[in-house]
Amino acid sequence: MPPLPAMPAMPPAFSAGDTAWVMISAALVMLMIPGLALFYGGMVRAKSALNMLMMSISCLAVVTVVWLLYGYSLAFGPDAYGGLIGTLKYAGMDGIGVHNLSGSVPTLVFASFQLMFAAITTALLSGSIADRAKFGSWLVFVAAWATAVYFPVAHWVFDSNGGHGGWIVDHLHTLDLAGGTAVEINSGASGLALALVLGKRIGFKRDPMRPHSLPLVVLGGGLLWFGWFGFNAGSALTSGGLAGVAFFNTQVAGAAGVLGWLAVEKRRDGHATTLGAVSGAVAGLVGITPACGSVNPLGALLIGALAGVACSYAVGLKFRFGYDDSLDVAGVHGVGGIVGTLLIGVLATAAVTGHARGLAFGGGFAQLGRQAVAVVAVGAYAFVVTWLIAKGIDRWIGFRVSRDDELAGLDLLLHGESAYDIGTHTAGIGHRIIGGHGHHPGGAADTQVVASSKGESVSATIRP
């Protein structure tokens, strides 16, 4: 074997075990994005299913680019003022090389992990405006929202820097390991604002808008649960005991969420539903996200069950108050995030945190107060700024498709595709290849698909 090239020696704080775990966790969180796409995609009607998938997948693309250009620096660069925002020192990942460490892991590994958080949090918002947003406007919104809402809030909550980082983590000392505020309440409040600006789907509260594929919802929810181990236990940023507690608590809360939601459904609606089981899992996992590194497993059981119960009621509020948060971003992520973040103030135990204690463990109301301030600050900031961004985009280029387009479905109109062609023997009948680079070199120039721009029908006729 030829000798290996000399590797640069890592600084003494470097930990191979931590690095391996955070890299795996980053990849696990990345998997949550296609998971979310399927979870949401299965819940909408078949005519707009692909658009729902694309809203999630596009976040992975757009947020990655803005993250590398300036997002990482705004969130984790040196604090510019008062723990509110980072500077642009690391714009373009400038000056971050092989040797730079964040804690015990290479900075680029830490930046990859945090990038996935930014992408999935942005993707979460898409559920509130299912079936009615222009795709181009969504892409603009994604970049603007990540910039004006996610990056600052991530700085507040995640940039722990020995008293010189974000104001929520370093000054207020709120406990939020994996983002009950920065991810869940942030996306919930923003989703509510977005749903209010875009308005209700045509037929909201009148037409059945049944999920078109519950098996897809289960698949997506399963991927979310799997990825959540990286999301929560990876947030320890080390591969030790804290990650272990977070990992176990994550599993417990997901399970309790399922049971909590199903119990309400069985009593209230008469049936324990598949959609309820998966929604309950997500609610429980949302609830434990901030708390996974602060409570013991019995605390996680309580938080998961309460989040499942609370969210199963909260998803009905949109019908009572008449806002169309279509896939319950506020109802599940907002409410579940509030439950988990506040309950840290009750259930935090020094046996896990090492210092901070909640009300139930003799800590008084101090921690609960810190948690409440963070909940209100993140929720209010996210709601107001998202509302302004969405209004601005709506005025500027329009955010919502036309009435006819919405009724016909977004897939054909926006993406030129349809999700399904599944008649066993009739699929593909009446379709012909008429062009495209893959099939007919040179054939595309003088042919055109006769398709209604309204997406009403597609005929595969050639018009020479």
- Lay out the site mask for another protein across 248-267 (x = CB under 8 A, - = otherwise): -----------------x--
Cβ 210 to another protein shortest distance, Å: 6
Choose which of 99, 164, 268, 431 interacts with another protein (CB under 8 A). Answer: 268
Is residue 440 a contact point for another protein (CB under 8 A)? no
Q: Which stretch binds another protein (CB under 8 A): 50-58, 145-153, 220-228, 269-277?
A: 269-277
Is residue 240 a contact point for another protein (CB under 8 A)? no
Total binding residues for another protein by CB under 8 A?
18
Is residue 128 a contact point for another protein (CB under 8 A)? no
Choose which of 27, 69, 275, 434 interacts with another protein (CB under 8 A). Answer: 275
Is residue 276 a contact point for another protein (CB under 8 A)? yes
Which one, 79 or 328, has the nearer CB to another protein?
328
Q: Which stretch binds another protein (CB under 8 A): 204-212, 241-249, 413-421, 431-439?
A: 204-212
Site for another protein in 207-226 (CB under 8 A): 208, 210-211
Phi, psi of 13 (to 5 degrees): -75, -15
Is residue 326 a contact point for another protein (CB under 8 A)? no
Q: Please write down the HEC assignment for all residues of the chain.
A: CCCCCCCCCCCCCCCHHHHHHHHHHHHHHHHHHHHHHHHHHHHCCHHHHHHHHHHHHHHHHHHHHHHHHHHHHHHHCCECCCCCCECCCCHHHCCCCCCCEECCEEHHHHHHHHHHHHHHHHHHHHHHHCCCECHHHHHHHHHHHHHHHHHHHHHHHHCCCCCCCCHHHHHHCCCCCCCHHHHHHHHHHHHHHHHHHHCCCCCCCCCCCCCCCHHHHHHHHHHHHHHHHHHHHHHHCCCCHHHHHHHHHHHHHHHHHHHHHHHHHHHHHCCCCHHHHHHHHHHHHHHHHHHCCCCCHHHHHHHHHHHHHHHHHHCCHHHHHCCCCCCCHHHHHHHHHHHHHHHHHHHCCHHHHCCCCCHHHCCCCHHHHHHHHHHHHHHHHHHHHHHHHHHHHHHHHCCECCHHHHHHCHHHHHHCCCCCCCCCCCCCCCCCCCCCCCCCCCCCCCCCEEECCCCCCEEEEECC
Cβ-contact 182, 378 below 8 angstroms = yes
Which one, 176 or 328, has the nearer CB to another protein?
328
Is residue 270 a contact point for another protein (CB under 8 A)? yes
Is residue 122 a contact point for another protein (CB under 8 A)? no
Which one, 83 or 276, has the nearer CB to another protein?
276
Is residue 131 a contact point for another protein (CB under 8 A)? no
Which one, 159 or 328, has the nearer CB to another protein?
328
- Lay out the site mask for another protein across 278-307 (x = CB under 8 A, - = otherwise): -x----------------------------
Cβ 270 to another protein shortest distance, Å: 8
Take residue 327 and report the two structure tokens written for it. Answer: 């896939």
Is residue 315 a contact point for another protein (CB under 8 A)? yes
Is residue 325 a contact point for another protein (CB under 8 A)? no
Cβ-contact 238, 21 below 8 angstroms = yes
Is residue 269 a contact point for another protein (CB under 8 A)? yes
Choose which of 89, 99, 271, 440 interacts with another protein (CB under 8 A). Answer: 271
Q: Which stretch binds another protein (CB under 8 A): 176-184, 271-279, 378-386, 401-409?
A: 271-279
Q: Which stretch binds another protein (CB under 8 A): 55-63, 186-194, 219-227, 274-282?
A: 274-282
Q: Which residues bind another protein (CB under 8 A)?
A: 208, 210-211, 265, 268-271, 273, 275-276, 279, 312-313, 315-316, 319, 328
